[in-house]
Structure formats: C-alpha cells, structure tokens
Amino acid sequence: MVTIVIRSKPDRIIPQFYQQKLRLSTLYPSLKLPFELTKMASTTLTCYCSSLCSTLQFLQNQNPISKPLSQPVSRFLSTPISPPILTLQNPSLSQLYAFKKDSQIDDEEGDDSESVDLPDFKRNAFARPKLSDVLPDDIEIPKPGTPEYDDILEKLLPKKSPPPPREEIFAVVMVGSRQYIVIPGRWIYTQRLKEANVNDKIVLNKVLLVGTKTSTYIGKPVVTNAAVHAVVEEQLLDDKVIVFKYKKKKNYRRTKGHRQPITRIKITGITGFEDYPASTLEAETVSS
C-alpha cells in the first residue's frame, strides 16, 4: 500500500476526513506512473486541496521489503518516477502477510539530513482503514455522553425548525353527514361540496363541540353562533375502489371501478363560541 500525503504544514497531520481523494493523474499530469492505480493496489491519495504544498512525501510501503524514501520528491516531477522507488512489483502475498508491527525497517541506514518521521501503521495491510491510523496519539476524542460531545453533535446535526405555533383549540364539525375533529391549520377530506370552487372561503355552521385548554363548549346539539372557517383547496376524486361481485360455480362475475368525488378543505379558524355556556372539569354538586 502506498499512501501519498501532501502536507501543507510540515508538522501537521491532517485527519483523513478533511481530505479529498483525487486522482493523481488529474493533479499532476506530468506524473507518469509505471503502473495503474487500482483499488486493490490501494494507493490512497489524500490531498489538502486548498493549499498544495511544495513537497510530496511518499510514506512507507506496507511491504516490509521496501525501503522508505530518503529524499522528498518535488511537486511537479519532470522525470517519471523510477520503478525501484515505488516498489510494488507484484509483491507476493506471503510477504504481505509476513508483515509485523515491529517491522524490519532498516534504521541503520544512516541519518540523512532530510529523513522524515513516518508514522507507524497500526494495522494490517488488508484491514479496514480507521481514523486511529492517521490521528496522532495526542488528540483527545470526546466520549459520547460528555458535554463536549453534545456540543459537537449539535453543530453537526441538521437543525429542525420548531413547528409553527398553533391555536390550542379544536372543534367537532358535522359535514356531509360525517363528523370530524378539526384543528385550525390542518386540512380534511369531506364529501364533495358541489358549488365550491378552489380558494373559496367556507363557513361550517354545524359545530357540535368546541374545546379549548381551559373549558369545553358542549353543544346541545349545536354550539350556537359558532362557526368554523375554511378554505377549499382542491376538488378531486378519491382513490379507486374496485367493486367486484362474484358467485361461485355459477359463472357470475361483475367488475366495477369507483372513485368517490371529494373536497379537500383547509381549516383557518374557529370563532363564535365564547358566549356559549362553558363546562369545566369541576363536577357540579348533585341537587337532591
């Protein structure tokens, strides 16, 4: 595995998720590699895009046989990389599996003036890459449950705006011989209201019950002068229902489709109930 990391500042290791992966060839067209970069060849390019630095540094190959580069390579290579530096000439599997953590890096090669501290790879060649490979040991990742962790989460998670404020009121309304519980701001489907066009304002008079937070107005049978204001949104047909009649062994089958005409109504407000006698939870004493 060859990992190519471009460092903008020499002492800073940029964690993987801040980096973007780019194809080598698009960045450096003059770079002619002797081999194709396939996935399994596993060249991970990590570039810090906004500021390309002046040096390319090749990190150590996982293969224990290869030796680390002693000199950094210049940014725009005029000459193609010679194969012996990037040693990936068909490494045999046994060599890769033979890799151990305390690898056989030759530290005795002599200190070059430009030797680089290469980080230890803490995992096997074919293991899944993790953040801990690239992060230095100094970084403290906050644990879940701590307030710092929650702060980070708050910033990262998408913020849902709170639901719009609604009057805390409801009414029971009778429309088309059906009763509905109705809240201002919501819509309901009713039977088709024939003369109503779209965006017509409608007043529903048969209000059987109005409930607020503090009291109810129970209509006997109707709350007088109460009205529910609504706007017609749409005149449509309901979903199709197949009416199928069948008698067994008598060769009788009839199929019919049915779409009920329907109106969608949006409720805008409930008014007119304040004068009506209200009732509350306190039970009245029984008059003996």
220 binds other proteins (CB under 8 A): yes
Measured distance between the N- and C-terminal CA atoms of the chain, rounded to whole angstroms: 95
239 binds other proteins (CB under 8 A): no
> What are the structure tokens assigned to 61, written together?
């190959």
Cβ–Cβ under 8 Å, residues 173 and 207: yes
Residue 202: CB minimum distance to other proteins, A: 20
Q: Pick from 52, 88, 116, 208: which binds other proteins (CB under 8 A)?
A: 208
241 binds other proteins (CB under 8 A): yes
Q: Pick from 35, 76, 97, 244: which binds other proteins (CB under 8 A)?
A: 244
Cβ–Cβ under 8 Å, residues 26 and 45: no
Cβ–Cβ under 8 Å, residues 181 and 247: no
Q: If binding means CB under 8 A, how many residues of this protein chain bind other proteins?
A: 29
In this structure, what are the phi and psi dihedrals at residue 212, rounded to the nearest 5 degrees?
Answer: -115, -175
For other proteins, the closer of residues 69 and 171 by Cβ is: 171
Q: Report which of 41, 61, 60, 48 is spatially closest to residue 18, judged by C-alpha positions.
A: 48
283 binds other proteins (CB under 8 A): yes
271 binds other proteins (CB under 8 A): no
Residue 166: CB minimum distance to other proteins, A: 15
Q: Report which of 65, 77, 104 is spatially closest to residue 4, judged by C-alpha positions.
A: 77
Q: Report which of 141, 122, 142 is spatially closest to residue 133, judged by C-alpha positions.
A: 122
169 binds other proteins (CB under 8 A): no
139 binds other proteins (CB under 8 A): no
35 binds other proteins (CB under 8 A): no
Interface residues with other proteins (CB under 8 A) are 172, 174, 179, 181, 208-209, 211, 216, 218-222, 241-246, 253, 255, 279-281, 283-284, 286-288
